[in-house]
Chains A and B, each alone.
Chain A
Amino acid sequence: MLGRMEGDYDVVVVGGGPAGLAAAIGARDAGAARVLVVDREDEAGGILLQCIHAGFGLHYFQEELTGPEYAERFVARALDRDIDVVCSAYVSGAGLDSDGTRRVRVMREGHGIRTARSRAMVLAMGCRERTRGAVHIPGTRPAGVLTAGLAQRFVNVMGLLPGRRVAILGSGDIGLIMARRLTLEGCEVVGVFELMPFSNGLTRNVVQCLRDFGIPLHLSTTVVEIHGRDRVEKITVAPVGADLAPDLARRWQVPCDTLLLSIGLVPENELSQALGVELDVVTQGPRVSSTLETSLPGVFACGNVLHVHDLCDYVTEEALLAGRFAGELAGGVKRPRDNIRVVPGDNVRYCVPHTLAPGREHTVYLRCQRPLRPAAIRVGDLVRRKLGFVTPAEMITFRIKPDVLDRFHGEARRIDLLGEPAGAHLAGAEP
């Protein structure tokens, strides 16, 4: 029920975005009778509410929905299952009782601080955007420098335009989508500048959001200075070499009043760290077992707090699983500990989960470091499968059958991505 929080819970989910809602549903469907979702915004749905473009649900609903539609369906599904959802609320901590249950402290507007006992917890706090400080752009500190997702909230929810003449640093999907969005709202988008020699966004977004509107994409180019006293007046950009260092001799200036940053996302793990959850230095999310359980027994993690996904449907898939395992644990199901470590090998940036157990099918998510085409994935010395094409912008989902793990010996499995380096297949400045 919306707004209800009373008694003890089987599973408490932190975060009411796509991951939290799906985890709650997964837990409920696995038999957990009492499930609570805590969200800090005044309405559940998370960032989906500001992602007004289509492209959500192709995997899960077999139809293409916008973000708000996807969120509304999930909130309805959660409430239909008698899951409790409280908004304008924070989980500010959790302790462990001697009998193994947790006491979750919830701080809620208008209700003060309350503690709920829970057998399991799911962390689903999502991620946040990297800001100017993360990439150290020199120059003045005027108004008009903001992250692409913040601009998205301004435009799509609050009805505010961030500026009139906009440059975008970084070609992540949010930046590309905002290039189109601001164009439709009457702004002039003067260019997208990407440090790497390839786009960090999905190809279809480069075509539909930039080329359709004649917005130039400058690959291997970065912003080297921001000018302006009170308001951004212009930026200086420069091409970068293979070492990613800017070639200042070839710099040029771009007049603009706004600079949007679409330079990556970071899992939001302050609560995880306060709880004592062990994090992976690469994903910056918790280290998890094959049941998506963190280093703290009974505490699970899923969605962008675990590792940054590129498609919401994958978040949903992962969160349903995390919720299921949390619900099963709350119901008393005990599983043997994992005994196979997953080791990222050649051209693999990370793999999630971090460990596997024999006897079950597993879904392993991984990201490559460089684009390859054709590409193949190799697990240990027994599995090798063609993938066609891999790029850092696209998460790779790989299913490992139980019989494969049964044939393995030893305690660690290395995963490699092999293949031919693929060039920048989307040519740079050509609009």
Chain B
Amino acid sequence: MSPVTTTLTCIACPIGCALRLTHEGRDIVELAGATCDRGAKYAAEELVDPRRQLSTTVAVEGARVRRLPVKATRPVPRDRVLEAVARIHRLRVRAPVRSGQVLVEDLLGEPGLAVVATRSLGRVGP
């Protein structure tokens, strides 16, 4: 496999170094542009398995508000964010609900990747 050069913006800190990395498959051959060690760690993760934190809201009935905020308990693969959101948006929740309550287990088929409520909502009305 021949080396490929990619550019990334490091997000480990506010400087946002422009990283130029040369890699063969998953192995980084050369990294330029990082002004600290965190750049190398970020580049390695971003190259092999880029992941993002995910939070969104789902419909909730019987509460004072109409949307319940939720989050994935671990970062999800960047390229499957929209797929994960589509799955989460199918949820319909009835109050009462507690912050931390598990709403989906094994999101995207990944064991231990759960979707939990991030706020508590009491029951209102019938």
Contacts and interface: CB of A to CB of B under 8 A. Distances in A.
Contacts of B67: 155-159
- Please classify how large the interface on chain A is, using the bins under 10, 10 to 19, 20 to 34, 35 or more: 35 or more
A72 B99 contact: yes
Interface in B41-70: 52-53, 55-57, 59, 64-67, 69
With a 10 A CB-CB cut-off, give which of B9, B78, B118 has the most chain A CB atoms: B118
A66 B118 contact: yes
Contact of B18 (A64, A202, A425): A425
Interface residues of B, number: 27
Contacts of A429: none
A54 B14 contact: no
Contacts of B16: 203-204, 206-207, 425-426
Contact of A388 (B9, B15, B57, B66): B15
A385 interface: no
Interface string A203-218: 1101110011000000
A66 B57 contact: no
A52 B57 contact: yes
A141 interface: no
A320 B12 CA distance: 28
A16 interface: no
Interface of A: 42-43, 49, 52-54, 64, 66-69, 71-72, 155-159, 181, 184-185, 202-204, 206-208, 211-212, 373, 388-389, 391, 393-394, 425-426
6 contacts: A52-B69, A52-B71, A156-B67, A157-B65, A158-B66, A208-B52
Interface of B: 9, 11, 13-16, 18, 52-53, 55-57, 59, 64-67, 69, 71, 78, 81-82, 85, 99, 118-120
Given A43-B64, A207-B11, 18 more contacts: A52-B56, A54-B53, A54-B55, A67-B69, A69-B119, A71-B119, A72-B120, A155-B67, A158-B65, A159-B59, A159-B67, A181-B56, A184-B56, A184-B82, A202-B14, A204-B14, A207-B9, A389-B15
